[in-house]
Structure 1
Amino acid sequence: MPFEIVRNDITKMEVDVIVNTASSKPIIGPGVDSHIYEEAGKELWNDRKKIGDIVCGQAKITKGYNLNAKYIIHVVSPNWNNHSQDIDLLKKSYQSALQLVLKYKCKSVAFPLLSSGNRGFPKEIAMQCAIECFSDFLLKHDCMIYLVVYDKKSYLCSEKLFHSVKSYVDDKYVDEHFYESRNIYSREMNLFPFAGSARSLDHLMEELDETFSECLIRMIDERNLKDSDVYKKANVDRRLFSKIKNNKNYQPSKVTCIAFALSLELNLDQTKELIGKAGYALTHSSKFDIVIEYFIENHNYDIYELNEVLFSFDLPLIGA
């Protein structure tokens, strides 16, 4: 998927470029900054001194040295003073870094959540800025963006949204064992079909419905949408979309099917129809399915925000 939230040490990421939360002066600051210099080696510090001062909201680039990344982008993000210009400066910080990603033709980049640590930004606001900048960039450019958080405690989606989804899940969630026992019963019943109900295989083959690929392309055409707008909004890689489009029998994963349903802004019945073409369903025995249902019923088709919630619940993310 073009955007993914991961829990990792950012210095261990194998990407073209990692982003460092730099100090404005050529000094080694705390947190991510200090850790990157420690892992990259002394040559990085020599480069940083040559750069000199960096204005807040701007970014500079150096080699990656001992890191797995080719480059390091050093960006100075703002402190939180509860002013609207703080948010503007934070967005400018992301945009400056992304412009360097573009200039140096990087295909993958790992960001920390800028300004959310020692610089005091509320994590919800810091996340909103990051998501807005990433989504705008990915609509125009092909790139793999990772948002790297070191541990679960350092990242949470909006508390209001989290508790709203949690309440919905708690209301809808049905004990999996109940469904499992019912499914076992259904399978046993299917072992003994009623006499006279069998039809020839050839006859059944003649009644094949349209495939997922055929249904998806039809829905895109009916809405007069561009393919690129659909797969980018779905957080799906262009190459995967091409495989689906050019092979009517391609079998995508469930999360990919749901990603396209959200991109097309389908209602719940339409979503079930589309994913059903690939043999999938939404049930109340799966917390993942219930979270998807919550977003669709609330007409919230923002996959980035959905992935924030899924990450908070330790559930699979939407995309390729």
Structure 2
Amino acid sequence: MDITENSLCATFQQSFLCCRRVGSLPWQELENLLTQQPCLVLNILEKTVNHPLTRKYPPSLQYRRLFLLELIKKHEKSGAEPLDDLYSALAEVLNSEENTVCYKSYFLPSGDAVTLCENIAIISEGTTGLVTWEAALYLAEWAIGNIDVFRNRTILELGSGIGLTGLAICKSCFPKKYIFSDCHQMVLQHLRDNICLNGFVLGKELESQEDTENTQHSDIAQLSVMELDWDSITEQQLSRLEADVIIASDVVYDPDIVTSFTKVLCKLLLCRKVNRHPELLIASTIRNSETYKLFQTKLDDAGLKWQILDDPKRSIFSYQSDCLIQILNVTLKV
């Protein structure tokens, strides 16, 4: 295949494995090439539906069905001979039973992948934390482009959800220690499962806010999971974590939690480590401008300074084109 076909297959593979909306895939580009390269459909089939990651960690049944139906439609439109492999793949999907969970895989520049078990429903178990949101991908991409911010440092993530950002950082940015945190028990369990799914072994878990004992030094990042309630945790407890960098993504979506979140940020920024305050990065998808403005106002009122960071190049992960995301670098006002 020439470079155009290689690039197209790579786009289909990346988009399929992370379940980007079927209609957003480059079907027109595929249609344009099929008249000269009818075998391209089989190449895409092997890199998507028949990929080893799909076999081991399958995307949702509905997603695979919609994808195959569109792929078959494009192949038939090209006038090429029917392909048994396409119809066999569709038959396999149609004869399978749907599950409440699915898998999404995200390739990293190293060629490694982060694979996550996610809920199919956006809201389940009373939380939205069992799926991956756009700002998590955005922050992970920014981190990979700014490795030195995380290299050999202790990272605390607030509202880790099911773990995309943290796992991408742990696989790409060489942190010394990474502390995932959340407050929902079901989210925490899914988070632990996804950490193990990606080949990491959890060290001493921070089962309570008092338990922050360091594990033995290792060249591999020390990973732990912590139940962290923004309203009840104290500055002293946060200080024991000795975090160099604090991050969060897609946690500023509800006006009711903005005050609690701002208060915990204040506590964290007051935690000095060797006469230096920790770095604080907050990535947000701006769905409601009033809620986002309220967050910025709360930061101002709390005596915190914020600065919008430059966008990452968006060259690693797929995004919704109409998705407005920003990363704020938050510091104490001098």
Q: Same fold (TM over 0.5)?
A: no
Calculate the TM-score normalised by the size of structure 1.
0.33
Calculate the TM-score normalised by the size of structure 2.
0.31
Structure index of larger Rg: 1
Higher helix share: 1
Higher relative contact order (Cα pairs below 8 Å, separated by 6+ residues) = 1
